[in-house]
Amino acid sequence: MSITVPSLNWLRVFEAAARFQSFARAAEELNMSAAAVSQQVRALEERVGAPLFTRAAQSVVLTDLGRAYLPIVQQSLLSLQNATDGLFGQAREQQLHVQAELLFCHGILARHYLDFKESFPEITLLLSTALHMSEMRHGYFDMRIAFGSPLLHEADSDFLLGERIYPVARPDIAAAIREPADLLAYPLIEVTTHRAGWAHVFEQMSETQVLARYAYADSTLVAMAMASEGVGIALARAPVSDKAMTQAGLVPCLEDFETTGREGYHLIYPERDALRRPARAFRDWLLDICQG
């Protein structure tokens, strides 16, 4: 049977009493009477169905359950305080919430993160990732980095990067591929969320794909990991996938071939003229990184 989450006041009182090992000192910090502290601790104990303190004449000592509960309560209170300060306090003006496609975070933002922090130490950059377009529509964010058409977001946007697509595989597999037809000897790893996949590649090669065998993944990072394990041949989507390709130990299969993808990455935000200072700074910095 689940227990209803206790009152926040009870938890604050418990944390102070546990920290001081004294109801009286907790009462001083919280501007309450010792009797009120004792009453709220008792109410908490009744709610959780277990004693949290062993009471003596002049002191209180945490029980084993009380000691186990204390760090959980302290972390929860701290997280709540930090979130409140961040969203509603003075620090809010220097925070920037950015949601981005996972591959872009992995291949671009992570690589340049320290550069942004060195350039703008006063701005707290909060990154969140999304794998698919549908995930982009959930939660609060100042700005989004999306792959595909920016028109779907009904907002202002800037073009950041396109993609260059070419086959990649483990070195032993890549060495056996000397012409496009050799690709068909191996499973081709298709990322189902991209419009430009193997069909697009074969079209640009003027090669038929009738005899192709496929394995499927929902992200380029997973496709690269599969290729690293010898499952088959993946498609690089440079420059965003460069880091993933290197980490997976993959190399190009046909060094003379690459084709341009059909879509690109865009920075999306509600209204350019209404951007807060941190958002303007991030926009200018990111455009320099991507287009410089």
The string of pLDDT tens digits covering residues 67-80 is 999 999 998 888 88
Asked whether the beta carbons of 137 and 214 are under 8 A apart, the reply is no
Residue 1 falls inside a structural domain: no
Same structural domain, 152 and 270: yes
Instruction: Provide the greatest CA pair distance for the chain.
Output: 89
Query: What DSSP string describes 135-186?
Result: GGGSS--SEEEEES-GGGGTSEEEEEE--EEEEEE-HHHHTT--SGGGGGGS
Q: Quick check: is 3 in a domain?
A: no
pTM for this prediction: 0.67
Same domain, 148 and 273: yes
State which of 88, 119, 149 marks the end of a domain. Answer: 88
Output the domain CATH number for residue 174.
3.40.190.10
Highest-pLDDT range among 9-23, 107-121, 147-161, 207-221: 107-121
- 158 with 270, same domain? yes
pLDDT in tens, 140-158: 678 999 988 766 666 788 9
Domain end point (choices 88, 116, 149): 88
State which residues form the domain around 73: 8-88
Same domain (yes/no): 274, 158: yes
Q: Is residue 142 part of a domain?
A: yes
End position of a domain, from candidates 59, 88, 117: 88
If one counts the domains in the chain, the total is 3
Q: What is d(CA 201, CA 189) in angstroms, rounded to the nearest whole number?
A: 12
Is 281 a domain residue? yes
Task: Tell me the C-alpha distance between 192 and 243, whole Å.
Answer: 21
Neighbours of 267 (CB within 10 A): 22
Is residue 2, in this structure, part of any structural domain at all?
no
Q: CA torsion sign, 109 to 114 to 118 to 124?
A: positive
